[in-house]
Structure 1
Amino acid sequence: MKKNISNIGFIGAGNMATAIISGLIRNKFNNSHVFVSSPEEDHLEKLKGNFSVNVSKDNREVVNSVSTLVLAVKPNVVEAVLDELSTEIPKNDPLLISIVAGYKIASIEDKLDSKLKIVRAMPNTPASIGMGVSALTANQWIVEEDKSVPESVFGSIGLTCWLEESAFDLFTALIGSGPAYIFYLIEALQEAAKGLNLDESTTKELITEMIKGSSTLANQSEDSLSLLREKVTSPGGVTEKALEILNRKEVGRSIIEAILEASDKSKTLGGS
């Protein structure tokens, strides 16, 4: 039997916590069942004003009020927060979801010394508009029926997938950092578009719509990506010339190399 979210709490009220809360409310989750704590008064006031959720500066108050707890603090303060809540969290035994970048499930288990059900999640920034992609991974105490809760939470802000935690470094480099690569591409295309003599906002709209349309076509078409590319590429034509330059510069190989090296960097930062 699938479990439902009853009361959900957030320790931390930054951008990603706000995005998730917004997604939950947008998907008709009862705002009176959302509890948020943060030392930042302005963050709490904004959340209360925008979503009418319960806010507090006391982390313990949130832990004591919920069945699902989202740990949404910065990596540099996570251990201090876990030390502070090392009694309350095991006592209340919530389903604990961590979105702390680079912080492994084993580190949480070591800090709390408990057989807690823990899920680690890695959402990316388009979650802020409900179009994120989130990786989920679980510890040994999570059973199949528990998975519906994090799936509902992160499904409210986009697509979810379950991975082994060992794959999180590559996911981070590929999907977590992926929006930055797309923005980098858009910047380059905008630079190339200066000869159109259009204002920057119009150029940006044209390019982003082109990317949106192309990605939607790639997602919906039964054709392979290579066939879709070939359909745009006439022999001896404009597209073929552009791709010839990209291939000569080994752009595809450079992208793969960049992502794999970023994955290695993620492992270093996370102590893998």
Structure 2
Amino acid sequence: MKNIAFTGAGAIAEAIINGLISDGVCLPGQLIVTNHSNDERLSFLKESYGVSVTRDKREAVKHADIIILAMKPKDVRSGIESIREHVKGSQLIISVLAGISTETIQDLFGKKLSVIRAMPNTSAAIRKSATALACTSEVSQAEMDAASELFRAIGTVVHVSENQLDAVTGLSGSGPAYIYYLAEALEAAAADNGIEAHTAKALIAQTFLGAAEMLLHSGKQPELLRKEVTSPGGTTEAGIARLEQYAVKKALRECVKTATERSAEMGELFAKNAQKEHT
């Protein structure tokens, strides 16, 4: 792996750093981190992972082969402006910023750089992220391979077209929150039926984990797996019937649809504001 600069030092940046070092994809000396103003955060990353840190933006990016934009989306304009004059056309830009298009990123840099958008999720913290990658036409196969290797250090990687990223955001980007929401409901149901909280949590977590492994490794579709658990006249059939009664499947579809639409709205709003400021 090549030298990587992180502009932004939040949770996703830390998850990627941890994954790269733990997997042996990068040595700490190949990673450098900068941010807007949080010196305490930079010190923490240096002490925890042995990476280089700096507040000098030119120093951060001048030797980097890959620059990862990991600031908050609201700070992307100022963040890019702080490094724009120091970025070369040979460097690969990877953005983990939700809703910010590659076109907007190129416009902010003022040049047609190689840009890859990545949509990981918060499970990156335990190296179990589901990450989707999309790129501009300037990105070479070697650059996409490098980005794929990078994000495989924190989980699973898929390649999509950029027009699918809003849907990916609505599905897997926000997806952990949906799973936790279901876990909340199941914990409440367990309490209603006299199961202690710590016991319920262990049972629910392992049930989710086992079901996920079955989805990944059985080769069977979700519908078939569900039917295999559902005996005629049994407990599961009764439970599924109640889910159907309350239109839970429809609610989940609407949930993803609404989150997808919101992702698109956020991107369009940012692009419009960026265009106004530019003119």
TM-score, normalization by structure 1: 0.94
Q: Which residue of 1 aligns with 2:2?
A: 6
8 Å contact 1:35–1:65 — kept in the other structure?
no
Mapped partners of 1:199, 1:237: distance in 2: 25
Mapped pair 1:76 → 2:74: yes
Aligned residue-pair number: 267
Mapped pair 1:27 → 2:18: no
The secondary structure found in structure 1 opposite 2:243 is: helix
Mapped pair 1:179 → 2:176: yes
Q: Which residue of 1 aligns with 2:272?
A: none
8 Å contact 1:11–1:69 — kept in the other structure?
yes
Q: Which residue of 2 aligns with 1:267?
A: 264
Q: Which residue of 2 aligns with 1:45?
A: 43
Q: Which residue of 2 aligns with 1:223?
A: 220
Q: Which residue of 1 aligns with 2:208?
A: 211
8 Å contact 1:133–1:175 — kept in the other structure?
yes
TM-score, normalization by structure 2: 0.92
With over 3 angstroms needed to count, the CA separation of the structure-2 counterparts of 1:257 and 1:195, relative to structure 1, is: closer
Cα offsets for 1:83-109 (capped at 9, x unmatched): 22221113x631111111211111111
8 Å contact 2:190–2:196 — kept in the other structure?
no
Q: Which residue of 1 aligns with 2:126?
A: 129
Q: Which residue of 1 aligns with 2:107?
A: 110
For residues 51-70 of structure 1, the aligned pairs below 5 Å read: 51-70=49-68
Q: Which runs of 4+ in 1 moved over 3 A?
A: 195-199
Identity of aligned residues (%): 34
Q: Which residue of 2 aligns with 1:239?
A: 236
In the alignment, which of 86, 92, 97 is matched to residue 84 of structure 2? 86
Gapped regions of structure 2 (runs ≥ 5) = 270-279
Mapped partners of 2:204, 2:174: distance in 1: 20
Shift of 1:196: 5.2
